[in-house]
Amino acid sequence: MAELQLFGTIQSEEDWWNEDCVTYRNFIKELNDLGDKKSINVVINSIGGDVFAANAIYSALVMNKATITGTIIGICASAATIVLMACESRRIAKNAILMAHNPSISLWGSYQAEELLKLADVTNQVKKSIVTAYMERLDKTEEEINQLMDEESWYVGQEAVDAGFCDNVIEAEFQNSALSQKFMVNGVSYSFKNYVETFVPDNIRRKVQALSVTRQKGTGTFFDTSNTTQKGNGTMGENENGTPVITDAQGLKAAYPQLCAQIASDAVSAERERLKAIDEIAKGIPEDVLMKARYEEPVSAADLALAQMKANNAAGRQFLADMVQELNSSGAGEVGAEPNAGYDPQAQKKVENAQKVAGFAAKLKADKRRG
């Protein structure tokens, strides 16, 4: 059986910003390059993308002479489900995801009301094309299909079979085949058995987690390495229950690369905001205090402002205490409240003469030679 991989978003043209995409031109070229084959397996791990590109791939598969099998190994969502409908046989891993919803259009720029109404009509026509593709394979009425698309329906493994989107669940032994280690998403290697996109709702993620061979704690991204992995000095393995054993930071990064990358990104953003907030209140704060708060003993802007207010309050109290002590030491405190009459030379001379007369009289009185 020949194999084609539909990994990444479905695009009409190459995306300069996203390497993990599939254009209808490239996919159809690879399909034609296979030549005459009796059977072709289309392995799907895609969150969807351009409906028109997906319709082109759908038509190419329908017109091909080979028997087409669709295999969902991670996620088949949105426009990717259109490609799945072109497959005569459809199977899904027991912990893989299928999602169907209404089409949407991303807008850039300014639009008038008439233009928006035209876009709404286009969106409705696009939905009709998807409904038509679904009705070819699902044992459902048009009303039922419209309802499940309106509700944005998520299915995990057997649920997709029960809903009619798939024919059967992949056998357990397939989960450990070589295929499970072949695809990349955003430059990170994944295995289908535990790959879940970050946009998947928590309740669906928990379902996948419960069905995964390697279970994780919490609702974060899933363990994406098998057996024991050594990266740098970090060692990571599994205990007897299949739970990953992580002993250091390198092991954590190896087990949860996306989670660690997100934590690092959030930490950088938070640190930038902290420094920005400190810069906004820096006026009047000594430079050495700012440097310490920024880098040596990092604190938030609020904590720095509070500490500076306390320091200013203490400095003010000390200034008043020093002023009181200086006044007391200078003797200024002993100055009375009597007004100063000013300096009068004549009055001062009279006082001096009176003092002299009084002194002379005292001497005469003390002279023993006088009877």
Q: Which residue has the higher pLDDT, 314 or 152?
A: 152
Can you tell me the distance from the alpha carbon of 64 to that of 61, in angstroms, rounded to the nearest whole number? 5
* Residue the block writes with tokens 């205990």: 239
Which residues, at least 6 apart from 285, have a Cβ–Cβ distance to it below 8 Å?
A: 304, 308
Question: Considering only CA atoms, which of 106, 102, 141 is closest in space to residue 125?
Answer: 102
Model confidence pLDDT, tens digit, residues 230-267: 334 444 444 544 455 667 777 677 767 777 777 888 88
Residue 157 in contact with residue 93, Cβ under 8 Å? yes
- Among 43-52, 87-96, 213-222, the minimum mean pLDDT is found in 213-222
Residue 22 in contact with residue 34, Cβ under 8 Å? no
Decide if pLDDT at 106 tops 60: yes
Kindly report the backbone phi and psi dihedral angles of residue 96, in degrees, each rounded to the nearest multiple of 5, phi listed first.
Answer: -90, 165
Burial category of 239 from C-beta neighbours within 10 Å (exposed 0-12, middle 13-18, buried 19 and up): exposed
- Among 115-124, 225-234, 291-300, 339-348, the minimum mean pLDDT is found in 225-234
Here the tokens at position 371 are: 């009877």
Q: Estimate to the nearest angstrom the gap between the alpha carbon of 2 and the chain centroid.
A: 40
Can you tell me the distance from the alpha carbon of 123 to that of 309, in angstroms, rounded to the nearest whole number? 59
Residue 263 in contact with residue 221, Cβ under 8 Å? no
Q: Give Rg (Cα) of the chain.
A: 43
Secondary element (H or E) of residue 92: strand 89-92
Mean pLDDT of the chain: 76
Residue 357 confidence (pLDDT): 66
Residue 68 in contact with residue 144, Cβ under 8 Å? no
Bridge partners of residue 261, in order along the sequence = none
Can you tell me the distance from the alpha carbon of 329 to that of 324, in angstroms, rounded to the nearest whole number? 9
Secondary element (H or E) of residue 6: strand 2-7
The 3-class secondary structure across 22-90, one letter per residue, is EEHHHHHHHHHHCCCCCEEEEEEEECCECHHHHHHHHHHHHHCCCEEEEEEEEEEECCHHHHHHCCCEE
pTM: 0.51
Query: What is the pLDDT averaged over residues 55-72?
Result: 93
Model confidence pLDDT, tens digit, residues 331-364: 665 666 565 556 667 777 777 777 776 766 666 6
Which residues, at least 6 apart from 366, have a Cβ–Cβ distance to it below 8 Å?
A: none
Decide if pLDDT at 227 tops 50: no
For every residue of 216-249, DSSP letters joined together read: -STTSPPP---S-EEETTEEEEE-TTS-EEE-SH
Domains of the chain from N-terminus onward: 2-224 (3.90.226.10)
Query: What is the pLDDT averaged over residues 34-63?
Result: 92
Residue 352 confidence (pLDDT): 75
Question: Considering only CA atoms, which of 287, 289, 280 is closest in space to residue 310?
Answer: 289
Bridge partners of residue 110, in order along the sequence = none
Here the tokens at position 78 are: 């949105």
Query: What is the pLDDT averaged over residues 66-78?
Result: 92
Query: What is the pLDDT averaged over residues 133-138?
Result: 89
